[in-house]
Copies of this chain bind each other. A is one copy, B any other.
Amino acid sequence: MSYQAPLKDMRFVLNELADLAGINQLPGCEDATADTVEAVLEENARFCGEVIAPLNHPADKEPSFWQGGEVTTSKGFKEAFRAFTEAGWQGVQHPAEFGGQGLPKLVATPCVEMLHGSNLSFALVALLTDGAIEALLTAGTDEQKTRFIEPLISGKWTGTMNLTEPQAGSDLAAVRTRAVPQGDGTFKLFGTKIFITYGEHDMAENIIHLVLARTPDAPPGVKGISLFIVPKFLVNDDGSLGARNDVHCVSIEHKLGIKASPTAVLQFGDHGGAIGTLVGEENRGLEYMFIMMNAARFGVGMQGIGLAERAYQQAAAFAKERIQSRDLAGSNGPVAIINHPDVRRMLMSMRAQTEAARALAYVGAGISDIANHHPDEATRKANLAVYEYLVPVIKGWSTEMSENVARDGVQVHGGMGFIEETGAAQHYRDAKILTIYEGTTAIQANDLVGRKTVRDGGAVAKSILAQVRATGESLANSGNDHLQAIRRQLAAGSDALEQVVEFMVANAKSDIKAVYAGSVPYLKLAGIVLGGWQMARAALIAQNKLDAGEGDADFYRAKIVTARFFADHILSQAQGLRHSIVEGSAGVLGLPVDQF
């Protein structure tokens, strides 16, 4: 159950697909030199593999627990978090002025993958803290930034996002938590928040809760929500800790997976009011939270990829060790099960989907860096639009695929996979949260359809498709059978995606429910076509390297076969998805509610 960061593939994707050298040329990204990045990758891989990954399975067996309002986290988490933050890993992508390393998102992304691949439950505290830092950087006053960000980066404190309430689930318009101004610039908050990841724990001396709440005169719905900082312990002007604030953890959830990460129910204001300060302007809280959520959604996509990689590694190791039954083509005795075709098929499916999702996400991270750092405004704007199209796909598709990969991971183990001590089942349980939190796949798909496709008449989607088709044309020149097979599936997939985009744009006004009935299939279609595009680019580059006699020939040959698998087994689902979207709404919507 060890975890080895897939550094070879990470380097390939960073350098060959996501243009790390180009990103390094952008203003503000000068520190991301090849040498620095290599040192970061190597050291992060070592740290995650040696320190964080070994805690994963034991912590699942002995999860965090609640007693008397306090949460004790799993054995080793506290020490590991200190080591993690002391080594500077919380600050990879955050500004140097607050103690971060100020590296581009593209460089932070493999670090995030490694951390999540090592230990999803542990990594969540870092993911949530990243989110809090992002929100404060976006909307905090200078004083708030000075007071809170440095301790969040250094690991003295951690951060949370407090959105969900018992009656409100995914529907933030229904938020009821009240924030009453005290006349001194502070507010008193009253309400209940649920599903608060690391809402209470013992890994840092303070917890900075970022909380959505309504001021007394706020308009109803999403336009009346403000964002507040509510620390567990109040913070004095000199940065030292003051009184215990009136926010208390009344219980934690008993969950299917990610058991080591405490999921808290937080009660604000049961003893007079939890003191908070406003972040940014009143009633603009949701806007700020969305900035934080976009970062978090990308991060959850990376969780899917990290988890998938780990499940793959575990299944591949088992399949190479486990001896059972003869080879179909004949053997003297039983052979390792990796020689049985269906085990091989499952391993290839796990590997191909993980590599495709990784490539798409890293390319997305690079596009985000261009959107943030490029000197030309039009270039920034165009790249931002592409990045925003990709975020729901990276979140939604990478997590959906991680469920399938974790499932295949159990299946490769056979009966042993169903026994908890093997560890494969933990991935299957852990993966299930990823398609739910930070917005379910349906919510990602709504975003993709509404804000990212219909709003601009499909312009961004088609601009991306033009790039996909350009890759297809490059493939046409190759004499390699694998590349030709990939080209055919990529062309068919692009056609399918284009037809679906046109269907969405054409029907969004006249038949909105029919359009949204296909939202999740559309998200999946976009994922496999864009993931397939990256695998096609990868195969093309690999073939060029082989032709030129450069680099690691085994790696390049494996990349081509993996891309071929993706084309024939994953991308080949595109026609079926297109049909379900364009023709499928009658079946989805035809039954009256009382017939369910």
**CA gap between A170 and B194 in the complex, in Å:** 45
> Which of B338, B446, B566 contacts A593, CB < 8 Å?
B338
26 contacts between A and B (CB under 8 A): A164-B415, A169-B415, A170-B414, A174-B324, A256-B419, A256-B425, A256-B428, A257-B418, A328-B516, A340-B442, A341-B516, A342-B446, A344-B591, A345-B520, A348-B587, A417-B436, A418-B433, A428-B432, A558-B595, A562-B587, A562-B591, A565-B584, A567-B587, A568-B583, A568-B584, A572-B584
CB of A93 closer than 8 Å to a CB of B: no
CB of A437 closer than 8 Å to a CB of B: yes
CB neighbors of B among A555-581 (8 A): 558, 561-562, 564-569, 572-576, 579-580
> Measured between C-beta atoms, what is the minimum distance from A474 to chain B in Å?
20
> Measured between C-beta atoms, what is the minimum distance from A407 to chain B in Å?
7
Additional A-B contact list (15), CB under 8 Å, known A169-B414, A410-B432: A170-B325, A255-B418, A316-B596, A338-B593, A341-B585, A341-B588, A342-B442, A342-B520, A348-B588, A351-B596, A561-B590, A564-B586, A564-B587, A568-B586, A572-B576
Contacts known (A442-B343, A569-B580); A421 close to B254, Cβ less than 8 A? yes
B440–A432 contact, CB under 8 A? no
A320–B593 contact, CB under 8 A? yes
Contacts known (A411-B440, A579-B568); A174 close to B334, Cβ less than 8 A? yes
> Which of B173, B328, B414, B481 contacts A325, CB < 8 Å?
B173
Q: Which residue of B lies closest to A407 (CB)?
A: B403
> Measured between C-beta atoms, what is the minimum distance from A324 to chain B in Å?
5
Q: Which residues of B contact A348 (CB under 8 A)?
A: 587-588, 591
> Which of B325, B440, B517, B575 contacts A344, CB < 8 Å?
B517
- Ranked 7 nearest A-B pairs via Cβ: A565-B587, A561-B590, A342-B442, A256-B425, A568-B584, A341-B517, A341-B516
**CA gap between A432 and B175 in the complex, in Å:** 37
Interface of A toward B, CB cutoff 8 Å: 164, 168-171, 173-174, 194-195, 253-257, 316, 319-320, 322, 324-325, 328-329, 334, 336, 338-345, 347-348, 351-352, 403, 407, 410-411, 414-421, 425, 428-429, 432-433, 435-437, 440-442, 445-446, 481-482, 485, 512-513, 516-517, 519-520, 554, 558, 561-562, 564-569, 572-576, 579-580, 583-591, 593, 595-596
- Give chain A's interface secondary structure class: helix
A512–B414 contact, CB under 8 A? no
Q: Which residues of B contact A414 (CB under 8 A)?
A: 169-170, 436, 440
B596–A338 contact, CB under 8 A? yes
Q: Which residue of B lies closest to A591 (CB)?
A: B561
Taken together, the copies of this chain in the complex come to 2
Q: Which residue of B lies closest to A195 (CB)?
A: B415
**CA gap between A586 and B557 in the complex, in Å:** 13
Q: Which residue of B lies closest to A586 (CB)?
A: B564
> Which of B170, B256, B319, B517 contacts A418, CB < 8 Å?
B256
A324–B568 contact, CB under 8 A? no
B420–A328 contact, CB under 8 A? no
B593–A569 contact, CB under 8 A? no
A554–B595 contact, CB under 8 A? yes
B254–A419 contact, CB under 8 A? yes
> Measured between C-beta atoms, what is the minimum distance from A169 to chain B in Å?
5
> Measured between C-beta atoms, what is the minimum distance from A348 to chain B in Å?
6
Q: Which residues of B contact A485 (CB under 8 A)?
A: 583, 586
B569–A584 contact, CB under 8 A? yes
Q: Which residue of B lies closest to A255 (CB)?
A: B418
Q: Which residue of B lies closest to A403 (CB)?
A: B407
Q: Which residues of B contact A253 (CB under 8 A)?
A: 418-419
